[in-house]
């Protein structure tokens, strides 16, 4: 058996279980032993029966003192009952629907039992415990036992046994990806000890040390991958865009750029004149004016005789940007075309032809820009908007179209600054931390259900004044059990349309609609035809509806703080005073404290930091959202300090060995992680 062999060759696995394990992303022995426990049960302490309290989970060593009796209560329900005793006391044990237990236990035999006890006065009982003969104790009782994430048909025991088998046969093959110096500097266990320690720790401290080491390694490999990607791009020659007088551009804008916008533009222009290809992320809150940064870059590129491409995640956003850029740039002599799938074949052909002939300078569009046959002979700049919607792979797909154009990506995903710098480790980052002047704060209220009648009056007042309103709900369909009392989008829509606001024009938008339907509804809202839009979170972040002045969020406790902040960014984009109303819902996810943070704070970065602090490890964000490879063990939010250390170590190593020639195992891993990310 070797490390990268298929798991189905392990004893006790076989074809059928191997297929089930695939659901846990386990294919090879290596995957299997890299499937780390999600928790541990401490069964190492043997307790006296007499001292166990109601509700305690504990491990005891006891004698079976009565013959196990199997009784069939009714079809589908059998009980096996007997008593156990140790020096201190006794307890009754019951197994439900496990008739075979009867034959595995003998009166007078000594066993270890582990499970949750119930106590009523002096009566102690135990249901469905894990047990084993005292003779073979140490497999599942009398020690610290790992707890793995499961899938149907695969039990803890199967995982424990096969992981042990994998470790027994392949441990020696594991290679340390961390350089020796790093291991020494941080006093980490070596890789083999770490694998043993995480699956079979002799105490919790060992499990923790093993976990730390593996987290460190995972983040180190990620940092190496991002670092070498950045290195590679650093050395790619880029079209030289001569420095232009920025005033020639800004002088024609209806407003002055903010300090932060100017800084981002200068950084980008300086990248593009350097002779090397630019790779820059512009990160800024919703409404911070990222589009203008892109426009300035596009202007500089096109006036030097090159072409630019601007890719948006949806047709609607593409349309919006096409209008913005046409209005702004056409008067400066820049010819703009739109390219999206839903255009007629002829319109598409025209656009493609103009690009190929160099008769168009800027193409604004969707994924359609990446289609085969779309050529940009003079492409020098590729911009991607709302980059978090695209994976790391797609990040460079536009670049692959031609000879390494400059790359500018824009994202409003508010993530803590510290994290952004690392997450986007392969990009240079400009942060726009300032909103255009005169932007009014969106007044935000977290309200109880009792406020609903007043909020409905408020909605009516705004609509009468000519404003538009968003109502966002967490789910589409009513949840089956009804216990959460979630107000689903379709339910809210029906109620508002028929009972509350029959006199207004309402629209419904949810994720199960076809793209074309969604876009039709969204553009009806953009044009003002729909006055109240009820939707799930599919409502577009970044769509400019300056007339929208109120965002109502149902069951706000169901959303992440940053997500709520992004939703709120859909209003307050015009000259109208705007509001955001958060219905608190009935408990659940977000605590009152969290909603308060949103009421008080309007800076997306600070909100994201608060979100990170309050939510802690876990679901702060899925790595998938950022197009990064899935992390097995590290949690980016929780491991921030380790992340910094790992990054410093990676930088140190890459400085000494940029190609990782002296670290072949690491180099192979680094190469594989992005292949996997792109496949996923
Ligand atoms: P986002 O960063 O969310 O993409 P946009 O680029 O769409 O933000 O800008 C939001 C709005 O702010 C647009 O209507 C835009 O015209 C306006 N805007 C951008 N920059 C400025 C500025 N410096 N002064 C005033 N308004 C601005
Ligand atoms: Mg935008």
pLDDT single digits (tens) 508-528? 998 788 878 888 898 899 999
- Residue 386 C-alpha to ligand 2 middle, in angstroms? 7
Residue 145 beta carbon below 6 angstroms from any ligand 1 atom: no
C-alpha closest to that of 535 among 583, 475, 478, 472: 472
Which of the pair, 539 or 189, is modelled with greater confidence? 189
**How confident is the model at residue 674, as a pLDDT?**
62
CA distance 197 to 181: 21
**Which has the minimum average pLDDT: 140-144, 221-225, 380-384, 645-649?**
140-144
Q: Which residues contact 671 (CB under 8 A, 6 or more apart)?
A: none
Residue 286 beta carbon below 6 angstroms from any ligand 1 atom: yes
To test the ligand 1 pocket, which listed residue (257, 262, 289, 364) has its Cβ within 8 A of the most ligand atoms?
289
Per-residue pLDDT at 80 exceeds 90? yes
**How confident is the model at residue 516, as a pLDDT?**
82
Per-residue pLDDT at 581 exceeds 90? yes
58 forms beta bridges with 115
CA distance 369 to 383: 11
Q: Any idea which ligand is nearest the CA of 294?
A: 1
Q: Give the 3-state secondary structure of residue 367.
A: helix
For 173, phi then psi, to 5°, come to -75, -20
Residue 411 beta carbon below 6 angstroms from any ligand 1 atom: no
pLDDT band at 395 (very low <50, low <70, confident <90, very high): low
Q: Which residues contact 199 (CB under 8 A, 6 or more apart)?
A: 33, 36, 37, 146, 163, 164, 167
Count of Cβ atoms closer than 10 Å to residue 161 Cβ = 16
Which residue has the CA at smallest separation from atom 5 of ligand 1? 289
DSSP string covering 134-202: GGGTTSSSSSEEEE---BTTB-HHHHHHHHHHHHHHHGGG----S-HHHHHHTTPPPHHHHHHHHHS-S
Over residues 555-564, the mean pLDDT reads: 82
- Residue 289 C-alpha to ligand 2 middle, in angstroms? 7
Q: Which segment, 44-53, 357-366, 607-616, 664-673, is predicted with the most confidence on average?
A: 357-366
- Residue 384 C-alpha to ligand 2 middle, in angstroms? 10
Report which ligand 1 atom has the smallest distance to the Cα of 546.
Answer: 14
**How confident is the model at residue 621, as a pLDDT?**
39
CA distance 292 to 315: 20
pLDDT band at 623 (very low <50, low <70, confident <90, very high): very low
Is the distance from CB of 549 to CB of 467 less than 8 angstroms?
A: yes
Chain-wide mean pLDDT for the chain?
A: 85
pLDDT in tens, 325-372: 999 999 999 999 999 988 999 999 999 999 999 999 999 999 888 888
pLDDT in tens, 278-302: 989 898 888 889 999 999 999 999 9
Per-residue pLDDT at 182 exceeds 70? yes
Rounded to a whole number of angstroms, the CA Rg of the chain reads 30
To 10 degrees, the CA torsion angle through 112, 114, 120, 121? Answer: 50
Per-residue pLDDT at 85 exceeds 90? yes
**How confident is the model at residue 326, as a pLDDT?**
97
Which of the pair, 106 or 586, is modelled with greater confidence? 106
- Residue 279 C-alpha to ligand 2 middle, in angstroms? 18
Over residues 230-249, the mean pLDDT reads: 83
Over residues 247-255, the mean pLDDT reads: 92
**How confident is the model at residue 428, as a pLDDT?**
84
CA distance 93 to 123: 11
Q: Name the percent of the chain lying above pLDDT 70.
A: 86
Which residue has the CA at smallest separation from atom 9 of ligand 1? 289
**How confident is the model at residue 475, as a pLDDT?**
65
pLDDT band at 619 (very low <50, low <70, confident <90, very high): very low
Which residue has the CA at smallest separation from atom 25 of ligand 1? 436
């Amino acid at each position: 058996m070797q490390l990268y062999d298929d798991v189905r060759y392990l004893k006790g696995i076989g074809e059928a279980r191997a297929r089930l394990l695939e659901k846990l992303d386990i294919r090879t022995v290596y995957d299997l032993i890299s499937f780390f426990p999600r928790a541990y049960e401490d069964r190492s302490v043997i307790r006296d029966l007499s001292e166990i309290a109601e509700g305690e989970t504990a491990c005891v060593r006891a004698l079976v003192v009565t013959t196990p009796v199997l009784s069939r209560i009714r079809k589908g329900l059998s009980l096996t009952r007997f008593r156990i005793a140790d020096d201190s006391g006794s307890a009754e044990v019951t197994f439900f629907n496990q008739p075979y237990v009867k034959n595995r236990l003998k009166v007078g035999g000594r066993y270890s039992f582990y499970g949750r006890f119930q106590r009523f006065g002096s009566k102690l009982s135990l249901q469905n415990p894990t047990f084993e003969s005292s003779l073979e104790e140490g497999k599942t009782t009398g020690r610290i036992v790992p707890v793995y994430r499961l899938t149907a048909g695969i039990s803890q025991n199967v995982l424990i046994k096969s992981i042990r088998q994998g470790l027994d046969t392949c441990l020696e093959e594991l290679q340390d990806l961390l350089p020796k110096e790093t291991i020494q500097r941080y006093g980490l266990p070596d890789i083999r000890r770490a694998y043993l320690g995480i699956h079979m720790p002799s105490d919790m401290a060992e499990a923790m040390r093993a976990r730390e080491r593996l987290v460190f390694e995972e983040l180190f490999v990620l940092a190496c991958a991002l670092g070498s990607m950045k290195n590679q791009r650093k050395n790619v020659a880029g079209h030289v865009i001569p420095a232009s007088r920025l005033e020639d551009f800004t002088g024609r804008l209806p407003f002055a750029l903010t300090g932060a916008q100017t800084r981002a533009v200068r950084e980008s222009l300086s990248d593009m004149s350097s002779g090397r290809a630019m790779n820059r992320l512009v990160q800024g809150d919703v409404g911070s004016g990222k589009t203008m940064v892109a426009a300035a870059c596009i202007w500089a590129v096109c006036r030097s005789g090159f072409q630019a491409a601007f890719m948006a995640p949806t047709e609607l956003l593409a349309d919006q940007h096409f209008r913005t850029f046409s209005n702004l740039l056409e008067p400066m002599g820049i010819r703009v075309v739109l390219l999206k799938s839903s255009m007629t074949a002829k319109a598409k052909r025209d656009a493609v032809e103009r690009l190929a002939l160099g008769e168009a300078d800027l193409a604004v569009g969707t994924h359609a820009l990446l289609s085969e046959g779309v050529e940009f002979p003079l492409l020098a700049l590729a911009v991607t908007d709302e980059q978090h919607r695209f994976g790391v792979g797609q990040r460079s797909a536009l670049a692959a179209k031609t000879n390494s154009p400059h790359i500018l990506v824009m994202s409003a995903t508010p993530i803590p600054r510290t994290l952004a710098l690392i997450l986007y480790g392969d990009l240079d980052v400009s942060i726009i931390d300032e909103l255009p002047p005169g932007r009014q704060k969106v007044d935000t209220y977290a309200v109880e259900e009792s406020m609903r009648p007043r909020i409905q009056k408020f909605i009516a007042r705004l609509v009468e004044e000519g404003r538009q309103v968003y109502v966002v709900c967490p789910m589409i369909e009513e949840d089956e059990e009804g216990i959460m009392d979630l107000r689903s989008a379709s339910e809210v829509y029906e109620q508002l349309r028929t009972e509350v606001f029959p006199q207004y024009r309402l629209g419904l938008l949810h994720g199960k609609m076809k793209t074309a339907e969604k876009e039709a509804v969204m553009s009806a809202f953009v044009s003002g035809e729909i006055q109240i839009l009820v939707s799930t979170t599919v409502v577009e972040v970044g769509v400019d509806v300056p007339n929208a002045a109120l965002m109502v969020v149902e069951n706000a406790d169901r959303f992440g703080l940053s997500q709520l902040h992004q939703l709120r960014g859909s209003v307050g984009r015009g000259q109208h005073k705007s509001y955001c109303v958060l219905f608190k819902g009935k408990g659940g996810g977000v605590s009152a404290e969290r909603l308060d943070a949103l009421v008080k704070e309007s800076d997306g970065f600070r909100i994201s930091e608060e979100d990170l602090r309050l939510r802690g490890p876990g679901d702060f964000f899925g790595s998938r959202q950022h197009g990064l490879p899935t992390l097995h063990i590290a949690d980016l939010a929780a491991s921030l300090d380790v992340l910094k250390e790992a990054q410093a170590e990676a930088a140190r190593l890459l400085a000494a060995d940029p190609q990782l020639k002296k670290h072949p195992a690491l180099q192979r891993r680094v190469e594989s992680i992005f292949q996997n990310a792109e496949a996923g």
